């Protein structure tokens, strides 16, 4: 499914041959995100991501960078997470050299002009304002603060207005030099490509990238012993809520079991939450469950947008579904359906060259092993109903509950009494 070469400086190059495609996707996965930041640096990883698009010596303006890719019909973008940053492009196969040239130019020769830094600081502040003004985005920010209090994992990836105000050119470049190291970077390419040719091209661009040692992150703390609650008053027609418990790390042996548990619970229109909360009770328009996983921690949660007058009923119904997973085995036919859902979505995803590049690149930069699609499918097929119930019993504990609410409620207002399992 993929081939791998490691350059002398530690840069890892992965290729996935897709001879039937006419596109090629390339992603630079850097093993740094917001959890690596000190409080006073909050948002620096995300700030750097923005600045790499603002001009290089070769392409002095953001427009010239954009034209270099869009002018050949390609698309490109970037994202910053808690543990990794991604820069990627998808182009027609004959234009791979251009995509490599543009992304390398951005990563290694961005100018970080002071005027652009100040301008982009204002742009990111507006991005933060958008989150604060968007109740369904705000409630996810608040639940993260509850699950990981006083920790970088609980902070907005974009940082705060206060921390952004202290970041200057020297601070950005120092952080970039510390974390953007070849040994901390994976280049993943998927499409109609030949491995040795790709290694030769990237080696020509990045073989002289000086080696260095990337910094470590602050470990997560797992000391929750009682429910946590956060109510944010907002005059809204709909209340937004997130219920969450601490989860498991990315490479935990139970990760595929949790993936299926989450599918049964809240993925898709045939899931338990959608059926019970929306279809039967009419309590919510939007409802879903989610799993997030990091190196050493994770979270399992449910999001819903509900009528403020019926929020208590919604919370009780969600908790009842969690308790049902603890008390009763999932029927064999329901688990079989969940397995086919997960496998089918995975196989559909892997028809796209960017998805394939991301599949291998993200694993390589974040995990100790890279699994193929077939290996994941085998792991999914091996999960039993007993596994699902055991995982539910270990995760859904009353003392580990977290509830964040955004809506027209005074602090407390009877919510704490609901947090029982």
Query: Looking at the annotation, which residues are catalytic?
Result: 49
Q: Residue 147 phi/psi, 5° resolution?
A: -70, -40
C-alpha 94/C-alpha 72 separation (Å) is: 10
Alpha helices, H only, 155-307: 161-166, 169-179, 195-206, 255-266, 272-273
C-alpha 110/C-alpha 104 separation (Å) is: 10
At residue 362, the 3 state secondary structure works out as: helix
Contact 151, 157 (CB under 8 A): no
| Edge-to-edge order in the sheet of strand 228-233 | 228-233, 402-407, 239-246, 298-306, 284-293
Residue with tokens 């034209």: 67
C-alpha 5/C-alpha 266 separation (Å) is: 39
In degrees, rounded to 5, the angle at the alpha carbon of residue 132 between the alpha carbons of residues 127 and 137 is 90
Residue with tokens 């946590």: 228
At residue 122, the 3 state secondary structure works out as: helix
Q: Which of 144, 395, 418, 156 shows the shortest CA–CA distance to 257? A: 395
Residue with tokens 């998805």: 355
At residue 16, the 3 state secondary structure works out as: strand
Residue with tokens 């944010």: 232
Torsion of the alpha carbons at 341, 344, 350 and 355, rounded to the nearest 10:
-20
Q: Which of 217, 163, 219 shows the shortest CA–CA distance to 42? A: 163
- Name residues whose C-beta falls within 8 Å of residue 409's C-beta, 6 or more positions apart in sequence: 231, 233, 239, 308, 311, 415
DSSP-derived secondary structure letter, 110: B
C-alpha 30/C-alpha 33 separation (Å) is: 8
Which tokens hold the place of 40? Answer: 């006073």
> What DSSP letter does each residue of 364-393 carry, written as one string?
HHHSSS---HHHHHHHHHT--HHHHHHHHH
């Amino acid at each position: 499914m993929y081939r791998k070469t490691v350059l002398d400086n530690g840069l890892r190059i992965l290729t996935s041959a897709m001879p039937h495609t006419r596109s090629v996707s390339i992603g630079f996965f850097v093993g740094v995100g917001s959890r690596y930041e000190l409080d006073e640096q909050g948002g620096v990883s995300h700030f750097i991501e923005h600045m790499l698009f603002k001009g290089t010596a070769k392409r002095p303006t953001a427009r010239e960078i954009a034209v270099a890719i869009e002018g050949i019909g390609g698309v490109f973008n970037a994202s910053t997470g808690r543990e990794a940053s991604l820069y990627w492009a998808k182009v027609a196969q004959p234009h791979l050299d251009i995509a490599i040239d543009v992304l390398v130019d951005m990563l290694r020769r961005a100018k970080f002009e002071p005027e652009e830094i100040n301008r982009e600081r204002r742009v990111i502040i507006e991005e933060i304002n958008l989150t604060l003004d968007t109740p369904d985005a705000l409630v996810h920010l608040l639940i993260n603060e509850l699950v990981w209090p006083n920790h970088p994992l609980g902070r907005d990836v974009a940082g705060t207005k206060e921390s952004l105000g202290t970041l200057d050119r020297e601070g950005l470049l120092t952080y970039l030099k510390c974390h953007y190291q070849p040994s901390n970077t994976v280049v993943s390419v998927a499409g109609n490509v030949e491995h040795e040719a790709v290694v030769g091209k990237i080696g020509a661009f990045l073989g002289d990238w000086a080696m260095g040692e990337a910094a470590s992150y602050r470990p997560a703390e797992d000391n929750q012993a009682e429910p946590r609650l956060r109510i944010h008053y907002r005059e809204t027609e709909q209340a937004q809520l997130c219920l969450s418990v601490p989860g498991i790390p990315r490479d935990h042996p139970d990760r595929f079991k949790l993936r299926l548990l989450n599918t049964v619970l809240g993925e898709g229109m045939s899931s338990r939450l959608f059926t019970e909360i929306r279809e039967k009770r009419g309590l919510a328009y939007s409802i879903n469950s989610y799993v997030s996983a990091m190196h050493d921690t994770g979270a399992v949660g449910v999001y819903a947008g509900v009528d403020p007058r019926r929020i208590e009923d919604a919370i009780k119904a969600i908790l009842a579904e969690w308790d049902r997973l603890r008390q009763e085995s999932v029927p064999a036919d329901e688990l079989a359906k969940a397995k086919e859902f997960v496998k089918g979505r995975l196989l559909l995803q892997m028809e796209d060259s960017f998805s394939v590049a991301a599949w291998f690149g993200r694993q390589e930069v974040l995990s100790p092993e890279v699994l193929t699609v077939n290996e994941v499918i085998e792991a999914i097929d091996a999960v039993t109903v007993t596994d699902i119930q055991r995982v539910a019993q270990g995760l859904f504990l009353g003392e580990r509950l977290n509830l964040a609410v955004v809506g027209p409620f005074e602090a407390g207002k009877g919510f704490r009494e609901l947090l029982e399992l």
